[in-house]
Each structure stands twice: as C-alpha cells, then as structure tokens.
Structure 1
Amino acid sequence: MGTEAGARLGETVRELREAYEGGRTRSLAWRQSQLRGLLRLLKEKEVEAFQALHKDLGKHHAEAYRDEVGLLNKSANGALQQLGKWTAPERVWVPLVAWPATAQLVPEPLGVVLIFSCWNVPLGLSLEPLIGAIAAGNAVALKPSELSPCTAKFLADNIGRYVDPSAVKVVQGGPEVGEQLMEHRWDKVLFTGSPRIARSVMAAASRHLTPVALELGGKCPCIFDAMPGGRDLQVSVNRIIGGKWSSCAGQACIAIDYVLVEERFAPVLIKMLKSTLKRFFQEADHMARIVNERNFERLSSLLKDRAVAPSILHGGSMDAKNLYIEPTILLNPPLDSAIMTEEIFGPLLPIITVKKIEDSIAFVKARPKPLAIYAFTRDAALRRRIVDETSSGTVTFNDAVVQYAIDGLPFGGVGQSGFGQYHGKYSFEMFSHKKAIMKRGYLIELALRYPPWDERKVTLMRHLYRFNYFAFVLSFLGLRR
C-alpha cells in the first residue's frame, strides 16, 4: 500500500477514535438512530442490494432476501426493541457478610472496533455484526471482502448516507488493506473467513493485545438416521438440500459438508436426494454460482481427483464460463482425499456409509470440532449421545442452517471452527464490556479481616465462608474489635 493510501487509512482510524472519545456513540438515542438508519437502508435500497448480490454470487433475490436482507431486518428490529433492556445495569447478589452493599454489572462499549466480513454472505456478514457493534455503542470500521466487489461498493456508497459517517466507516480493498488496518490499535476485531488468514489476524492483533473473535467454519457433518418413508423422510431430504445447495451453492460456513448414513439406508436417501434436486433446481438461476475462477478450479480439482471420480453418483458437470457446478453427490470417496479432509465450500456432497448410525459419533469425534452438527433422527437416545459426546458450535436436530436465524441462540464456533459468539443479544455482548461495580456502606466493619491474627479469627473466617448468615450475625453481636 502506498504512503498516501496508508495516510488516508490512518486518518480514517483517527476520525473513528475521535468520534468515540467524543462520547456521542454512547447515548441510547444515537444507537437507536443508527439502527433505524440501517433499517431505512435495507428498505430503500433493497433492489440495489439484490442486484449487487446477484452480480457477485448469482443469488436469486428470494435467496438473498431469505438469507440476508430479511434476516437483517429482523435483527435490526430486534435490537431496537431490546436495546433498553440490554443496556440496563444488571443487579448482582451480594452476601450478607458484605452488607450494607450493592453490586451491579454495567455494559459499556469497547471503543473502536474492526469487522472483517466474508464474501459468501457479504451483506449479512457485514451488517449483522455491525448491528451489534452499534447497539453496544462503538465506533466501527467495516472491511467487506474484495471477493464480493459489488456488495462492497454497495456498502461503501450507502452506509455513510444512512448512519453517522464519522463513527461508522466502510474501508474497501484487498489483503494489503486488511494488513494495514491491523497495524492500528483496535478495541475488538471480528474476523470471518479462513483459518489461514485468521492466524495472520491474530498475530497482528497480539502486538496491541487486541481481543479477537473468529468465525471460521469447518466440515459440518450431517448424521442421517434411517426412517420410514413418507412425509417426514421427504421433509428431511428437503432440509438437507436446503442446508447444502440452497445456501449460496454450499459456499457457507454452516452448510452441510458431508452426510453419514447406514449402509442399508443409503440407497433410499440417495434416490430421494436425486429426485428432489431435480424438482428444486429446474431453473439454473435458482442456485447461486461459484464466487470466482479460483474457487471454481479448487472445486473442480476435488472432483477430478482420480481416487474420487469413481465415487460420483449424481451431477459433476461444470460450466467454467458461468462458474456453475451442478449439484453433485458422491458415495464413499476416500477418507484421506482432499474432499474429505478440507472444507468443501461448494455444491459437492459426499455420502459416507457406516454399519450402524451410532458409529457416526466416533467418526465426528475423530475430526476437528465443526461449527455445526446436524442430525436427522427420531431416536432420543441418539440425540442425547450426540449432545453429550461431541463438541461443536451448535447442534441442530431435524433441520439444517436455520439455527443461524434464531437470535436467542448464540452463533459461533469452538476449537478450529472459531471462537466468540454473536447474533441478537450475543452481538451486543460481543462488543461490550461488563463493568463490575460495587458500593459499600460504613455501618458494619468486620475486624476479623484485619491483623493481628489469632485462631479465633481463623475459626470465624471458616464459619464466614461456610455459613455467611451465621458468621454475619456473630460479628454483628459484638465479636469484632
């Protein structure tokens, strides 16, 4: 990055710091007005947002509304309705021995925060955390992904028209801009993307001891228990397809990466997947395209692997000109192949068979902790085992991906799938600090807390920590100096 561009970036950071230090982002009125501004943006610029998402990813406007615009409207409205409750001090119980005293937790903004969003849900992954950061009272720099340039430009052109441009700024650019941003001091950084880049973000943040939240994804498994034919089976297949191919063509961190199913039931599942795919995607534009040539080639190479190609049961055709890959089903590709060791992030679905469905738990446990585990089953015992014996950011039974839309559930990973949680109140808390405040009176003073020491004081302290009320009464009745 040139000297002039670096200077402009430094000026941007300085303006954000001044806006925050000036104090106006802390007021409830300011926060509410910014959230209303975002809602106006989503309403007045909805068509432009759809156009940007279609140019970047080929998203149908119905998918764009379902996964991005509609969810953002819900999130911003929810934050507006709940903001007074979120910002209210939280009373904390104080033991009698400390009486008279009060204690509370007061949420305060962290300061100036930086959000790196990702290209696959470029509007949602930009504005969802922005809603929380604004609600918490921060000044914010938003760095959208350069791999979704139309959406990045849409945000840069419009954010400053609907929210306070001195306290919320969009910074466009490629990796060099991200690196330059990380040279500055921030009070919190949220990064959504790949583990490779996340390591660089964390290394850079460590220079300023900046706290970081990472949203990284991983290989999300789907455990599919055998079930009789009928409506429930068809609904389950519908939801698997929705959780794989209908979410940005599988280019989503919470998309189903592979399915585990019993050998005896695999033919039934595969047959229904094929027929339902044909019904769902009669129109080519009803599924998003691959984001760019590099990712198209990466996915193509997964299918062209000589060890993998024989496992293709359905699909596999590719259109490089239009960056389109047909929904593809594979049966038992080699477990050491790239398609089973790397996050797929595309419209390819391996089906892995097991002798009995309980074996799927050991299969999942033997691999890095995923962002989400999905399981379709009526078996309560299996559900309990999945919850008790596996670790993941979320577990969803009998559906896929929809947990992202539930504000009452925190969204985030564990282990290699990331750390930090947001959505709804959790977004507010991600960008807040809970300040502990205690106030005591002077009516009572316990001498046993001070020297000189003797065994009587030790005995009283033992009672104090075991029986708060009893120790308090004894001290109040005169056993103090």
Structure 2
Amino acid sequence: MSPSPRAAASSPAPVYPFPGTEPVEAAVARIRAEADARTAHPREVREERLRAVRRMLTDHQDRFADALARDLGKSRTEALLTEVGSVISEIDHTLAHLGSWMKPRKVSVPLAFQPASAQVAPVPLGAVLVIGAWNYPVQLTLAPLVGALAAGNAVVVSPSEKSPATAAALQELLPAALDGEGVAVVEGGADCVQALIAHPWDHILYTGGERVGRIVYEAAAKTLTPVTLELGGKSPAVVTEVKDPAGMARRIAFGKFTNAGQTCVAPDYVLAVGPEAHAQVLRHLPAAIAEFYGPDPAESPDYGRLVSEDHARRLVDLLAEDVDAGAHVVIGGEADVAGRYLAPTVVDGVSLDGALMREELFGPVLPVVRVDTLQEALDVIAARPHPLASYLFTDDDDDRAAFSAQVQAGVVSEGVTLLHAGMPTLRFGGVGHSGIGAYHGEAGFETFSHLRPELTKGTGVDTLRAVYPPHGPVKRALLPKLL
C-alpha cells in the first residue's frame, strides 16, 4: 500500500543512495557513440522508444505516485494528473503528429536560381542533455525527453537529487524500459551536473532556477553548446472587478496552491485593481482555499508539502519579515518546518519592495498588492524582469487589449492559470530572465532538431554561367536584372 501524502510528509524528505546510476564519463561516451551511429534516426525507432516510455509510465504509475508522495506530499490524483498523465498526453500527441513533423518542408526558389528545388529538413542534433527539476520531477524530466526522442537523438537525463525517490524510480525504470539504448540516466548533485555540463553537447535543456541556469549557460558557452533554459520568475495575476469573483478566486487558488505553490508558472502575487477588485480577492480567496482543502489543510490528502525544511524555513522567514513591516495574513500562515508544511497563505498590505516581493516565492504564500489603475499594474509588471507567465482576470475588453499589448511574459493567459503548461499544442518557454527557447509538442521536436536547409540544382544545364567570372560589361549589366 502506498503511504498517504500526509503520513509521508510528516517526516523529512527521504534520502536514497544511487548505487546503480551510470558514471558520468561512461554515460556521456555511450550516448555520444549512439548518436554518432545514427541508430535513433528512423521513424520506427523513435516511435518505439516513445511507446516504451509510455508503457513505463502506465505500468509503474503506482511506483511514481508513491515516489511523488514521498518527495513532495503529492496526492495520487495530483501525481497522475500533473505528472504521469501530462507526459502520457505529450507522448500521444507526439506519436499522432510525428510523421508530419518529420517531413521536409518545401520552400520556394527565386527565379534567378531556377531550375532548382529547396526544402527545410528536420534532422537529429545528436547527443543531448536534459537536466530535470525537483518540483515536477516526472513531468519536467520526461516531457523534454519526449521531444528529444521524437527528434531522433540519444539522450542523457539528469533527474534532480532534491526529489530522491522519484529520481531513484527514473534511474531504475527508464533504462530498463528502453533496454539500455538511447537514454542514460545519471543521478547526482551539483558535482554531477557540473561534470555533465563540462562536456560538449549538441543541445542542453535545463529546467530550474535562474542561479543554476546561469551556471549552465556559462558552461555551455565554453563548448558552444546551444541551450534551452526553462527558469521562472514572479508571475503576476492582475484582477479587476469581475462578475464571477468566486470563479476568479478558484482559478487563482488552483494555480497558486497546487503542489504547495512549487510551480514555476504559479501566480506569484496578485495586483488587485481598485477597491472593488481588492475586496473581491480578499473575500473569495479564503473561501476557495477552504473549499479545496477544508478547514485544516494539514489534514487534507490533496495538499502537498514543501521539498525541504530549508525551503519551508525560507518562506516562513520572508512571511515574518513582511508581517513585522505591517502586512497582515488574511488566511493561513500556520507552519511546521520540520514537517515541510506551510498552510495556503494569503497576505494583504504587502509593499512592492517588501520581502515577499523581492524574489520568486515558489511556495504557498500569495501576496496581494492593491493598485489604483490597470496602467499602474502594468507598470509594476514592466518594472520587473519578464516572468514566465502572466494572468489577467477581467470582464473588460479594453483591459484585455492593454494587457496583451503591454505585458512581456512567457505566456499571457486570461481567465485561467496553469492550464497552458499542460497543453502539447502550445509552446512552453520564457523570455528574458524567465528563460531561453521553448518546448512541448512540435516546439519540442524543433528544439531538438536541426532544421537543415537543403538545395538541389542539376548540372545538366549550367544556368549560373552569367554569375561566373570574368565579369565583363555584358555580365555587369545583366546581373542586376537576375538578382
């Protein structure tokens, strides 16, 4: 029987040894050799590897649900919905469209270059590195892998050591599912990642925080390795007075408190525009939290836990600093640092330069800041680094247009939170400080492919003689007409 999330979360996060993990040098050498052998290029190989990953997820969903409960206190439903099911959906979408994605795309040839044909052909990059994240350790490790395998690459996967139970499951199950071909799983801490990124790759995709993202970016620059960085930032939710405030509050609460707020696209703070919207937020958010998690979220099987005591202590300290400065807790605030628990918390009266507004919170604390106008809210967002997501709740078309025109973020989402991150039909990625590049669906396939231009021109009739030297008066007169 799998332990309940509440029972699993009452003790510190488990620590697992990884005696079976493949050594870095051996894994890199094997994957590079497989990439050079081009064994993953045929479509049937790509599809079979994707199906193997899918079978692993369906056959071992209990193992993954148990691991996610141990690492993050996730309920079975949340684990299957946001992690296992999300990746299965990504695989199904990819299998349905892979044939069309792989086809070369014809492009036109200028008259001066004819007769000739030209196309853009997606070809595998080769050997790629996927560095996963701890907050969604199945989804954020395997969803990029889907794109990499679909594009015909050989892959080294490095799951996060901060979610050790899930990393152990991936280390054991993924190579077995693929019969030890095409993928290597290398688990370890910072030293392991440092050793991996010191190697030249054909692409690196990293998901995590900005600090480590900079380290990956700097290391990749030394070997001229292209990168995709999926980072984060303080994603805002702007609220104007709406006709359905209860619905608005449920959408924000769902986005914020799923996975105990440890979601890179969670609303990080609320900008309430005007007194009516401010009152709606403060009245209905507590009701939504109570509806989701009951009178005591610590007893709810649907409310998760923080990844570590250190993370819990950091959030508690930030909250205390702002409360000492005059902010007040509307709901929540109860904490058990040793148990990695912090209740869903809404804080009002937060200053824009307060502790809770200095950095991405990545936890279940939601600051609310009242502003007088939508333009003031837009100016607040513009003054900060570009976030990974931005959310708007309004009934006004002019507000929608202004928000879309002025907000620079990885995604603009109106009326709902989080949903875009689970859609394989939408690109997922940041801009500026929130990331470089994108994946999911076709965007993931293209991220891990070289879109190679190909030009074919027959030699039977040499129509280029007009451009060959020597360039006498006749050719000089003719060339401008050809170009």
> What is the TM-score of this pair, normalised by structure 1?
0.91
SS of residue matched to 2:451: strand
1:331-410 matches, within 5 Å, as 331-410=348-427
Determine the C-alpha separation between the residues in 1 that align with 2:283 and 2:166.
38
Offset at 1:459?
5.3
SS in 1 for 2:454: strand
Distance in 2 separating the partners of 1:303 and 1:237: 21
For 2:270 and 2:24, the matched residues in 1 are separated by 45
2:305 counterpart of 1:289? yes
More displaced stretch, 177-186 vs 410-419: 177-186
* C-alpha distance in 1 between matches for 2:478 and 2:380: 55
CA offsets, 1:270-315, max 9 Å, x none? 1111112111111423111111011011101111115446332221
SS of equivalent residue, structure 1 residue 286: coil
Q: 1:257 maps to what in 2?
A: 268
Query: Hey, what's the Cα distance between the residues in 2 that align with 1:33 and 1:223?
Result: 44
1:24 aligned counterpart, secondary structure: coil
1:70–1:7 Cα change, 3 Å:
closer
Contact 2:351–2:369 (Cα < 8 Å) also in 1: no
| CA distance 1:221–1:7, shift in 2 (3 Å) | closer
Structure 1 residues 204 and 382, CA gap change in structure 2 (3 angstroms): same
Q: Quickly say closer, same or farther: Cα 1:309–1:33, change in 2 above 3 A.
A: farther
* AA partner of residue 269 (structure 1): V
Which amino acid in the other structure matches residue 425 of structure 1?
E
- Identify the match of residue 276 of structure 1 among 265, 272, 288: 288
**2:457 counterpart letter in structure 1:** R
Q: Which residue of the other structure, out of 135, 147, 165, is the alignment partner of 1:150?
A: 165
**Letter of the structure 2 residue corresponding to residue 263 of structure 1:** G
Corresponding residue SS for 2:137: coil
Correspondent of 1:299 among 285, 296, 315: 315
Written as runs of structure 1 = structure 2, the 5 A alignment for 1:71-90 is 71-90=86-105
Alpha-carbon distance, 1:332 to partner: 2.8
Give the CA deviation at 1:131: 0.5
- 3-state DSSP of counterpart to 2:439: coil
Query: Secondary structure of the residue that 2:206 maps to in structure 1?
Result: strand
The amino acid of 2:137's aligned partner reads P
CA contact (8 A) 1:17 1:112 kept: yes
Query: Of 18, 28, 45, which residue of structure 1 is paired with 2:43?
Result: 28
1:439 aligns with 2:456: yes
1:227 match: 242
State how far apart, in whole Å, the 1-side matches of 2:328 and 2:62 are: 42
The alpha-carbon deviation at position 50 of structure 1 amounts to 0.4
1:14 to 18, 23, 29: 29
The letter for the 2-side match of 1:21 is D
CA apart distance, 1:454? 5.9
Which of 111, 115, 118 matches 1:103?
118
CA distance in 1, matches of 2:481, 2:377: 51
Partner of 1:183: 198
Percent identity (aligned): 37
The secondary structure found in structure 1 opposite 2:428 is coil
For 1:315, which of 323, 332, 348 is the aligned residue? Answer: 332
User: Which of the residues 131, 139, 145 maps onto 1:116?
Assistant: 131
Question: Which one-letter code corresponds to 1:285 in the other structure?
Answer: P
- Range with greater deviation from structure 2 (236-245 or 146-155): 236-245
After alignment, is 171-180 or 315-324 more displaced? 315-324
Could you tell me how far apart the structure 1 residues matched to 2:464 and 2:69 are? 69
Q: 1:449 aligns with which of 467, 471, 482?
A: 467
| RMSD of aligned residue pairs (Cα, Å) | 1.9
Once residues 463 and 337 of structure 1 are traced to their aligned partners in structure 2, the CA distance between those partners, rounded to angstroms, is 65
**3-state SS of 1:371 partner:** coil
Contact 2:309 2:339 in 1 (8 A): no
**What is the CA–CA distance in structure 2 between the aligned matches of 1:381 and 1:90, rounded to whole Å?**
39
Q: 1:22 to 1:362 in 2, by over 3 A?
A: same
Query: Partner letter of residue 226 of structure 1?
Result: E
1:416 aligns with 2:428: no
- Conservation of the 8 A alpha-carbon contact between 1:375 and 1:396: yes
Change (3 A) 1:455 1:287: farther
How many residue pairs get matched? 458
Q: 2 CA distance for matches of 1:172 and 1:70? A: 23
C-alpha distance in 2 between matches for 1:311 and 1:455: 83
Structure 1 residue 59, shift from structure 2 partner: 0.4
Task: Quote how far apart the aligned CAs of 1:96 are.
Answer: 2.2
State the TM-score, normalizing by the size of structure 2. Answer: 0.91
CA distance in 2, matches of 1:208, 1:446: 39
- 2: CA distance, partners of 1:320 / 1:103: 61
Larger Rg: 1
Structure 2 match to 1:245: 257
CA distance in 1, matches of 2:85, 2:424: 13
Bigger shift: residues 356-365 or 287-296: 356-365
C-alpha separation in 2, matches of 1:455 and 1:385: 58
1:118-166 deviation per Cα after TM superposition (whole angstroms, max 9, x unaligned): 0000000010000110111111110000000000000001001211413
State the one-letter code of the partner of 2:218: A
1:196 deviation in Å? 0.9
Tell me the distance in 1 between the aligned counterparts of 2:435 and 2:223: 20
The runs of 5 or more residues in structure 1 that have no matched partner are: 466-481
Structure 1 residues 429 and 369: alpha-carbon distance in aligned structure 2, compared to 1, 3 A threshold: same
> What one-letter code is carried by the residue in structure 2 that aligns with 1:219?
K
Whichever residue aligns with residue 202 of structure 1, its letter is Y
Equivalent residue of 1:245, what SS?
helix
Q: Comparing 259-268 with 306-315, which one deviates more in the overlay?
A: 306-315
Counterpart for residue 248 of structure 2: 236
**How many Å separate the matches in 2 of 1:153 and 1:286?**
24
Q: Structure 1 pair 327/94, CA: closer, same or farther in 2 (3 Å)?
A: same
State the AA in 2 paired with 1:37: A
Corresponding residue of 2:5: none
Partner amino acid for 2:217?
A: M
- CA apart distance, 1:461: 4.0
SS in 2 for 1:301: helix
Contact 1:373 1:395 in 2 (8 A): yes
Aligned to 1:475: none
Q: How far, CA to CA, are the matches of 2:214 and 2:464 in structure 1?
A: 51
> 1:476 maps to which residue?
none
